[in-house]
Amino acid sequence: MKRRKFIKKSLLGGAAITMPFVLPSGRLFASSGNRMADHVVFVAFAGGVRQQESVLQRYLDDSQAYASAGNIMYNILDGAPPTDKIVYGTTNYVNGDTPIPKMLSQTLQQQGTFFKEVNASVVGHYAGVNTLLTGNYMFTQGLRNKPLTPTIFEYLRRLTGEKATKTWFIGNGIGNSIPLLDYSTHSDYGAQYGANFLAPIVTFGNSGDKHLKNAKVYHPEEELDPMYKMKYFLDNVWYSQGSALPNIGNTEEEKLQIKQFVRDMFQKKDSGSIAFPPISDSGDLQTIGYACEVLKRFKPTLTVIYLSNVDGCHGNFSSYLRSLHRADHGVGHLWDFIQNQVPEMSGNTTMIVAPEHGRNDDPNGIKDANAFYGYDHSDSNSQRIFNMMVGPGIDSNLFIGNENNKVGDIVNIAPTIAEILGFKNDIVNTGLLASNQSFFDLI
């Protein structure tokens, strides 16, 4: 090869290697890290969970000064269930007297890595979930405001170019400003990188039956196409004069898929074939059932599922125990469903389970029908949570930290998700996180 030709080819080759590649997401380079798994399912085990009834397995022993201890979360944690004064199960003779059978042959604790004592500095539901999703403490953030810093959904989509239907945020309702957490108001991120939010027990509940179920099915080419052409013309005219609407960036194809999913769910609901857990007598468990359907249909890269029925603890401790037991049942069902019903995600999914905050050490004085005291969330005991991780590449049967040794913080969850999905360096380079450490860095 002649010298001039060699130099020309070398320069072209070098340029091809060094020239940035602009992804549709607007980023220059594909994410730099290797993925530990292609899917993350993060269960915000939210509503305020006391360490005493969860990790420490003290049941009524600590909270009600009644000598009955034991594990009521036996899909997640190792430990024998309580044997006395059972109120957390389904009802056979008296309220809650029949514990729900265990779902998993091996607990998540045995399958994964368990941080037993983690710090959560904020003790409000919205602020807590906000922190779980953004990796930032929003000390000045009130309800009814979108997050000020990007959510993990936005990082994922902007930094790796994921499609909108690959990120889902599934809430067990629309209270507590939860629907606002699908994206932030950060100027470099925002709606176009947001998650698809769904509160299925509302969408497919009584209101949905009345106002969504009988939606007309328009023909994609003969009706929707001209309809959208007219709409695009109207929107183009408007953009020259008016403001733009927030848009999470579902393509037309993705929108069709979501509409089809909604229609199918109404049909499955009518035929009784939604993938609910064996017991589905609570909002959290119904939410888990629809979340399973989302996983099966869309195989998302990141799914966040928000549970919160345990928040009943303020005034009904028995209901709190039931909700805790059911949330564990739901998580067991979810993990089992992923492994056995979604082949594309089986063995290729990491699940993370963490509350958004704890609950108080001392009761509030409100007694329920069993004369059990309720607990609020405002003292230092409310800053105690746990974190469970299970999936490919994660050490099994590993415990870290204990009651006297806190290891990890709630803000480590966002970088942990980023590390699993192979874009931790990118998320750290944004400089927007409160902590650059993932839970893997703390092992």
Partner 1 sequence: MLIFRKFIFLISFLLLFACNKQEPIYELNQINSSSYNANKNKLKSTMQYISILYANLFQTALSSNELVEITNCIESIGDKEVAHEIVLSNFMNSQQVLIPSDSLMRSDLNHFVEETYKRFYVRDITEAERKFFIDFFESNPSVSSEMVYMAFALSNEYQFY
242 versus 431: smaller Cβ distance to partner 1: 242
Our finding on whether 235 is near partner 1 (CB under 8 A) is yes
Point out which span in 244-252, 309-317, 349-357, 407-415 binds partner 1 (CB under 8 A).
244-252
Window 127 to 166, contacts with partner 1 (CB under 8 A): 164
Window 195 to 224, contacts with partner 1 (CB under 8 A): 195-200, 202-203, 206-208, 210-218, 222-223
Which spans in 59-103 are helix H? 59-63
Per rule CB under 8 A, count of chain residues that contact partner 1: 53
Our finding on whether 185 is near partner 1 (CB under 8 A) is no
Would you call 389 helix, strand, or coil by DSSP?
Answer: strand
Rounded distance, CA 321 to CA 194, Å? 34
Point out which span in 71-79, 233-241, 384-392, 426-434 binds partner 1 (CB under 8 A).
233-241
Rounded distance, CA 215 to CA 259, Å? 10
In angstroms, give the least distance from the CB of 255 to partner 1.
5
Q: Where in 133-263 does DSSP place strands (E)?
A: 167-171, 196-198
131 versus 167: smaller Cβ distance to partner 1: 167
Our finding on whether 194 is near partner 1 (CB under 8 A) is yes
CB-CB contact of 111 with 297 (8 Å): no
CB-CB contact of 328 with 68 (8 Å): no
In angstroms, give the least distance from the CB of 257 to partner 1.
10
Point out which span in 252-260, 350-358, 362-370, 426-434 binds partner 1 (CB under 8 A).
252-260
Our finding on whether 262 is near partner 1 (CB under 8 A) is yes
In angstroms, give the least distance from the CB of 293 to partner 1.
15
Do the bridges between strand 167-171 and strand 196-198 make them parallel or antiparallel, or are there none, so unpaired? parallel
Point out which span in 243-251, 372-380, 393-401, 427-435 binds partner 1 (CB under 8 A).
243-251
- Using CB atoms within 10 Å of the CB of residue 144, give its burial: 0 to 12 exposed, 13 to 18 middle, 19+ buried: exposed
Select from 18, 43, 21 the least CA-distant residue to 31: 21
Our finding on whether 231 is near partner 1 (CB under 8 A) is yes
Our finding on whether 105 is near partner 1 (CB under 8 A) is no
CB-CB contact of 440 with 433 (8 Å): no
48 versus 194: smaller Cβ distance to partner 1: 194
For the beta carbon of residue 118, count every other beta carbon within 10 angstroms: 26
Which spans in 180-251 are helix H? 200-203, 206-211, 225-239
Query: In the stretch 64-103, what mask flags binding to partner 1 with x, by CB under 8 A?
Result: ----------------------------------------
Rounded distance, CA 172 to CA 178, Å? 9
Our finding on whether 48 is near partner 1 (CB under 8 A) is no
Rounded distance, CA 62 to CA 82, Å? 13
Q: Please give the structure tokens belonging to residue 108.
A: 């998540």
Which spans in 360-412 are helix H? none
> Can you tell me which of 33, 79, 179, 392 binds partner 1, judged by CB under 8 A?
179
In angstroms, give the least distance from the CB of 354 to partner 1.
22
Rounded distance, CA 326 to CA 309, Å? 9
- Site of interaction with partner 1 (CB under 8 A): 164, 169, 174, 179, 182, 194-200, 202-203, 206-208, 210-218, 222-223, 226-231, 233-235, 237-239, 241-248, 250, 255, 258-259, 262
